[in-house]
Structure formats: C-alpha cells, structure tokens
A and B are shown apart, each in its own frame.
Chain A
Amino acid sequence: MSDTLTRLRYKYWPDHLLGEILSKRWTETGVPVIVLLIVGFVLSRLLDGFFAPAILADTARQASEIGFIVFGMALVMIVGGIDLSVGSMFALTNFFALYLMHVLAWPVAAAVPATLVFGAALGAVNGILVGFFRLRAFITTLITLIIYRAVYDLLIFDYSTQIAGGFPDSKVWDFLGTGELYGIPTVAFVYVALAIFGHVFLTRLRPGWHITAIGGSRRSAYNSGIAVRRTITMCYVASGMLSALGGVFFASRLATVGGDIGVGLEVLVLTAAVLGGISLGGGNGSVTKAVVGTLIVLLITNSLVSLSVPGGVNRMVLAGILLLAAVIDIRWLKNRHRIISKVYVAPNYHDMPELPSTAPDSGTAWAQNDKLRNVSAIGLGEIEAPEDVILDRHDNLYAGSRHGDIIRFFPPDYKRHEVYAHIGGQPLGMAFDREDNLYVCIGGMGLYRITPDRKVEKATDETNRSWNSVTDDSRLRLADDLDIADDGRIFFSEATVRYEMHEWPVDGLEARGNGRIICYDPKTNSTHTAVRGLKFPNGICIAGDGQSIFFAETFGCSVKRYWFDGPKKGKVEMVMENLPGYPDNINISSDGHYWLAMVGMRCPALDLAWRMPGFRKRMAKRVPVDEWLFPNINTGCVIKFNEKGEVLESLWDLGGVNHPMITSMREHKGYLYLGGILNNRIGRYKLEGADPNFVQYDLRWGKLS
C-alpha cells in the first residue's frame, strides 16, 4: 500500500526539476522579480489609486532618474568596487545643469552634454584614484562624497537665489522634465533605451565581459590580458556620467537646489542594487537585476511616504532591507553550489521483480560457471579502460583507452600495439561502416569518425532540444554505444542527459529514465532523438531484420527492441526483462544470435534501496560517494540470447580474478574478445564450436576479406 503511494508520488511529481531550475542562472533574477510582484500586489491592496496613470507616470519618472544612478552603481559593483559618492555627484550635476540653464542661459543642446562631461569628470576622480592609484573604493568614494557635498553646499550658498530667479525659456528643457509621449514620460524612454543598451553591453560586448571578468577575479582577468586599471576607471567615469544623467532630468523636472538633494541617495541606490541581486563581491550582476531592484525600493519608499511614515522610519526600513539583502547575497553566493548539489540528485522509485537465481545449481542458462577462468589477457598493463573492443576485416584489434586514444593491436598474437588515433575523450562503443570508417562514441564529446586513413572527424555532438526539458539537452553528454543500419544511419545511445560520464553512479542512484537513443544520418549530416526516457540505455545492435535495433537498459535491467523502419516503425518492445544483472554492450554472434555483456550483477540490498527513493536521497546527501551503495560491477558475465529473448548460455569468471569486469565482447574467427571499462587488459576466450571464419563486418556489409 505505502509502496503504491510512493510509486505514484515519484511517478507524477517531478523531483528532478527543482535542481535543474535552481541551477539555471536566471533563478537569481527570478527571486527579486517575485519579490517585486509581491510588493506590487500588496501595495496595490494597501494604497488607493496605486495604479492610477498619474501616479504611475510619477513613479516612472523617479524610477528612471534613480535608475540611471543604480546602473552606474551596478557597473561599479560588478567590476568589484563601490561608489558612495553618487548622491553628491547627483546633487552637484543637478546644480551644474541648473547653473548652465538658469544663470548662464546655455542652450539645452550644449548644457546637457556639458553636464554629462562634468559628471564624467567627477567620476574620473574616483576612477583614477581607485583604478590607477589602487586606493580602496570604499574610503575613496566616501571622501569624494564629503568633498562633493561640501562643494555643493558652498555653491548653493552663493547661487541658489540666482537659480531660483532665472527662468530658461526652452521647450526642449521642459519636455525633458515633464514631457510625455503616449502618456509615458520622456525620461522613461531614455531609461528603457539605456537598459536595452546596457543589457547588450554587459552580455554581448567585449567591454561588458571584461567588466564581469574583472569583478569575478581581478588577477585572472589581468593574467588573461584585460586592461584592468583602465576598465575599472571607466566604470567609475560611467557611474559619474549616469549620475549626471539622473541630475539633468531631475533638474529639468524640479529646478531646485535644496540642501537635502542627494542626501542618503547612496543608501537607496545601494539597496536597490543589492536587492536586485547584484553581488557585493563583484562579478555578478545584470541590467534586469538593477531595474527590478530599483522598482522594489522605489515602490516601498514611495508607499511609505504616502502612508505618512516619518522619514526616520523610512530610512530605517531601507537600511533593514539592505542588511537583509546583503546577508542573503553573501550566504547564497557562498552556498549556492552546495544547495544545488544537494537538491539536484532526485532518486526515483524503481521497482524490480524478484531477483532471478543464478546459483550454479539453479538449473537455468544463467547458472554460474568458471568458463572464463582461462581467458588469456591481451595488452595486460598496457591498455587502460577498453570499454569496447572491435576487430576489422584484417584481424586488427582496436580498443579505446582512458587517455583518449584508440589503440590498435596487431595480429596474429596481439602483442604489438600502436596508437591508431588520438581523440581526447574516453572512447566507448565502436562500429565500422560500409566504407570501413570507424565510428566511435566518445563520453562527454559525442559521436566521432575515424577514416581508414586515420583522420579524426566529428560526426555529431548535438541533437534537437526537447521542448519540455529545463536543462539544455541538445548537447550530448554521454554517447555510449552505437550500431549502423543498412542505409548508413547510425543509432547510438546516450546513457544520461543529467550527468557527466564519471558521474554514472549518481544516475544509477536516481534510476530515472534520463537516457535516450539518438539517430545520426551521415547523408544529411543531421541528428534527431529517437527514443527518450530510458534507464541508462547502453548497448545497441542492429537486429537480423535490418529494421530494428536491440538496446540494453543498464539500470532498467532489460533489453528492448526499437523499430526504426518497416510496419512496426517507432514501436518499442520488451525483449528480456528482470535480468539478474546490468546489461551493457550487445553484438552479433556467428550462429545468428546475440552476445550481451553483463557489466555487473544485482544485489538484494540495492534492489530494496531502489524501491525507497527517500532512503537514497538521504544517502546521497549524508554519505560520501565512495561509501554509497553501488550497483555491483566487479563481477559480470557474458550471455548469448536469441531474437525471442531466450538466454541460451552464459559465461562466467566467478572470482573475477582473470577478468574483473566485462562491458563488451566481440566474436571474431572462433574467439570472443572481452573489454571492460575499468580493466587494464583485453580478454580473449576460445569459443568451442564457433565458426572459425566468422568476421563480423564481412558478414554485416557483405564483403570478403
């Protein structure tokens, strides 16, 4: 009963999505957006007329003016610094703009650029001190905050009456301050334009990448040749200029030089940036985060004002939010990877029928024996990790190695060997096509082809992205084994889309259908996914009818058949289920049947754990990987089965002394060659009564050597 509940719960509730969503970068922006929506909703309930057009327009004006400054602050924070002087620069540029317009009566076209240049100059003071003289950003900008503020106080003492008396007669100036287009304030258009540019700048342009790189690691950025000092200086210059832009619009709107303009603005701006998710540590931030942070802070402060909350409380709320956001920022950045790695692993309910007996006295074809005891070893200690072995039509023996090579052993005794080709990733399954090209699945890289003249070519490393998967599943992570149809189409398995090759035990722990079978057509050079949701699909072999493949599901402990052509096209049928072990590669035998390697055998303790996902989830969290309950892959065997799925015989090496692990086997001229991904040898076993002239790829492609 409770088993049924567990099964249903794990069948219909997608546990694995949480980790996949969290590992997306956009979730960091997603949280502030959700906060913004909540704040907006709550405030709209609290305050009447919250969404009235006039109020919205006013909010948009303020948001844009402050938003410019937040952009500047964000830029400086991303590069790894902080700019406390933004409030003072804002006040000073506001004064400067008003002085030019009201007192000197400059035209707008001259006054606005002049103000921006003035702001840039103010920022450049910070920039040069921090960037080139390498002073501390915090203390430097704190000092300029005081100096600029002092200058501002002196200036307004002298000129405030003159500014108040002047009255610039400029429609353009008024349009900047109070103008609207389609009910939307002018400033908002500028803001949106700047935001779009800023986004492109940060994510698509070289200087933007440089800024993020410097914030992420200044030393690495320097070592990779980025002009660190200049870039940092330019960020402070930009901050000054953006403050000036805010100042210009503020000046044109209110035309005031009151003593409290820009006081405490740096806290507001900093809160907005941190709340949006721009990291205080640098290297992490985006325009979206800056915009969202600005809106949240402004909504809160404005609503507090309209609720007639005293200014002190207002600032206290702001400081409280800043503190909270900063704590979350630091803790999240520090623990992000740990949290994701804890929630990413999502074991599934995996029920296996009762384990069939393989005892020597069980009287079945599975009965354990010692037939493989006298296997002879090829390349002992000279080859590492031959997952698959293959023989060409001239008796040469090929095997992959974990150094990323294809090694060729020479007949007749296979004592000599050479590196046939270097690919760079772990070679897994192999097959020859009609033209003697060797196709190889490379873990972590994809499907590769080695031409007869030893040229290594990439066949494919991506497939179509499925519309309903959260992680990008277009890249191939673990191409595993392949076979080639009569028309040249290549069917290969990808064991899992959620983990890398060395993480296969984690996929075994999940026991979810994370794998798929992919078809690559060399004629059109196109790739598409044929079957999805398989439990670690592994070995693949074209069936006798030429219209279907047999494939092994390692953690599904089954062999299935998939029709890619003919009347049953697209269908998948079970051939052998509830195997007593974990099936791996499949290949044809000389008598028209199929060899299947069992890489390991099931054990009752893991079978039980597969029915208890919660247990495995806790195990994944608490127990180090080396101590996990694993599928036992120290002992395996080779079996022969026919098209009906009947097991005809089995070959064992019980102690696993001579050949500890078997991931593949290949019959050739009366011998069976054995590969094992964690072995340092290739096994060779004399088959009694087998066709001494059998050459797999002569038969397959109808040739004679």
Chain B
Amino acid sequence: MIQALKSFSDRFLGRGEAAITVPPMDGALKPNRLIEDAEILATFDAPEDLATDGKSLLIADGRRVLRWQNGAGVEIATFDRPVTALACAADGSLIVALDGQQIRRADGQSWNAANGKPFVAINALSVGADGTIYATDGSKENPPEKWVHDLMGLGRSGRAIAIPAAGEPGEIASGLEYAFGIAAAGNEIWVSESWRHRVLSLTSNGGKGRPVVDRLPGYPSRLTPAAGGGFWLSVFITRTQLVEFVLRERDYRTRMMKEIDPRYWVSPALTSGNTFLEPMQGAHIKTMGILKPWAPPRSYGLVVRLAPDGLLRYSLHSRVDGKNHGVVAAIEIDGALYMLAKGPRRLLRISVQDVERSVQA
C-alpha cells in the first residue's frame, strides 16, 4: 500500500524511480577528445567485436574473422552466419558466436542453448583462466542487432552463461536488463547489465550479484582485461534525459515503436546526425554554424578504464560533435588500445601511455 502510494507520488512529482536525471560526466568521466582524435586504422563493412590471442588483434567483420597484420586485415576464418561475438582460447583458437544463436569452438564443438532455453542474442564472449567460456545472452526476445527494441521495450531477459571446459552450458545469472559484456575477474565474473547502467560481479555458483560499477551516465557493454589490472569497459551508448523520460512514457513509447521506423525513434543510437528525420533536441540547434559538443548525446563514444575494484580511473571520449561513436569493444595489446567504433564502422588505435599522460595533464 505504502509502496503503491509512493510510486504514485513519485510519478506525480517526478521523484525516485520516475526521476529522469542522468549522472553528470564528471570526475573520472570528464570529457576529452581521445577517441575522436585516435588514429583511424581501417573502416569495415560490418564489424562486430574485437579479440586477441595475446599477440595480434582479431576482428569479427560480418561472417569473417580477420587478423590485423601489417596495417591490413587478413581473413583467417569465415562462417555461414554473421559473427556476433569473438574470443580466443588460451591456445589461440577461436571461439565465436554466430548470429547470436550459437557458440562454436574451433574444434567444431557448438552449443545452442543453456538451461533448456535457446540462445537468441549472444553478444559477448570471454574465456576464464580454467578454460571456462563465459558468454552473455542479451535478450530472450531480440537478436543482437535489435538491441534498441530491447531497450525501448524495457527488456529484462538477459542472462550470463558459463560453459565449463568439460560440461554443458549453465546460467549464472538471468533476468538481467540486457547483458552485454562479460569477463572473469579472479574468482568472480563481471557482467555488464546495460539497461541498468551497471556492472555486476557474480560468483560462479549463482546468487544475485553485487554491482561493482553503478550509475553510469551510459549503457555499458564489453569488458576486456587491462594491463596492470582492472578492465576496459566500452560504454556503447549514453543516457539522455529525453530517453529516460520516454522510457517512462508508456503510451508514447508503444506508439513510437509501432508507428515509426526504428532509425528515427527517440532512443540512443550508434551514430547520429545523418538525416533530419532523426529526432532533434533543443541543444542540437547549430548556432553560428557550431553544434555544441555538450549537447545531449544521441550517439557518443566512451571507453572507461576500471580499476581492479571497479572504481572508474579515467575515460576516453568522442563527444556529440564527433564521429567516432558507438564504441562496442576496446582491447589492449602491447601498450596500444584498439577500439571498435561501430557507428562509423571504424577501427581505432591509441597508445595507452599517451592516454595516461593526457588524462593526468
């Protein structure tokens, strides 16, 4: 009863769960132009994920997997369906997710379901020290490319999956508000729960998990280990008050999803500013020929460096006036950070040393 009254008064006054406030980009999230100014290595047709065998960079591009060699991508494998996630086992062999529905190991072994429920949106893979394969299945309803439907449909059917070296896949968490990104952290497993703007730490024996990163101003995605401990977290889209507001407006949201082309929804996107059919917000008006970089981001580029305890250390940005938006993967190899900006379909590189020098300055 009290809960019902509170939720009513919250909705009436715009407080509590009904509040549309978004945490500011401040402190460790203070904006810079590091992603925007990063070196552009290549542009691909349909890049999805990055991985490394410890020595070189692997790129999932459409149905192909490429190895980055001498400034170009060399095809090392092709599959019958698009690759939606990519990882490397300790021996350097590939593990891929195909069309979100299947996880396949290099030896041909594959899995299509966990706990009796088929995979729908496998969007991230990683391998633990003991050879366990970890995966996130974003949603029960929406395949990986329809993530925006899941966000605007208030999806909460994501799950984290573990496949032991010898054994069958099992859920280690379910009912997540979109799971996108997973990595082993010692005895625990960290999972990005995107629509709740947080990273959860789970133990392999289940349980609810505890948030290690919370209240992000964006929606987190894949996690990769960083040299010197901690992780790189790519935040693939960012929050705006308008989207938060629309998420709480049931009638508008359902009509929008029914009547309007998803490209023109009031929603975050991997890229923006391409057509006037996209919704425009007040601060987006070009004044004296300039688009303000601090305008509410429909698309944004953001990678966060996490300390081993989950604290935010610093971040790399491509702001609203930039192009390198929608970074879905960031991976560190030999002191260089490779990033995949899915918006412009670009592979970017920046020296970690340069980044640390720049953010300390």
Question: Which A positions have Cβ atoms within 8 angstroms of B?
Answer: 384, 505, 600-601, 603-606, 608-609, 612, 614-615, 618-619, 621-635, 656, 660-661, 678-681
Contacts and interface: CB of A to CB of B under 8 A. Distances in A.
B20 interface: yes
Interface in B206-255: 240-242, 245, 249, 251-252, 255
B265 interface: yes
A678 B242 CA distance: 24
B205 interface: no
Nearest to B19: A622
A55 to B, nearest CB: 46
A606 B260 CA distance: 11
A618 B286 contact: no
B292 to A, nearest CB: 9
Contacts of A660: 286, 289
B166 interface: no
Interface string B266-281: 1000000000111111
B261 A629 contact: no
B44 interface: no
Given A612-B255, A626-B281, A626-B283, 15 more contacts: A603-B278, A603-B279, A605-B256, A605-B266, A608-B255, A618-B249, A623-B241, A626-B296, A627-B241, A630-B280, A633-B285, A634-B284, A634-B285, A679-B288, A680-B288
B287 interface: yes
B259 interface: yes
Q: Is the interface of A mostly helix, strand, loop or mixed?
A: mixed
25 contacts: A603-B278, A605-B266, A606-B279, A608-B252, A608-B255, A608-B260, A614-B251, A615-B249, A615-B252, A618-B249, A622-B14, A624-B241, A626-B281, A626-B283, A626-B295, A627-B242, A630-B280, A630-B281, A630-B284, A632-B278, A633-B285, A634-B280, A634-B285, A660-B286, A678-B288
Nearest to A661: B286
Contacts of B240: 627
A691 to B, nearest CB: 31
A656 B241 contact: no
Contacts of A633: 280, 285
Interface residues of B, number: 34
Contacts of A624: 241
B266 A629 contact: yes
Nearest to B258: A608
B264 interface: yes
Contact of A681 (B265, B281, B289, B296): B289
9 closest A-B pairs by CB: A605-B279, A632-B280, A626-B283, A601-B276, A680-B288, A635-B276, A660-B286, A626-B282, A604-B260
A627 B283 contact: yes
B279 A627 contact: no
Nearest to B287: A678
Contacts of B245: 618-619, 622-623
B185 to A, nearest CB: 36
Nearest to A659: B289
A678 B286 contact: yes
A600 B276 CA distance: 8
Contact of A680 (B264, B266, B289): B289
Nearest to A505: B282
Contacts of A622: 14, 20, 245
A618 B246 CA distance: 10
B259 A608 contact: yes
Contacts of B241: 623-624, 627
Contacts of A681: 289
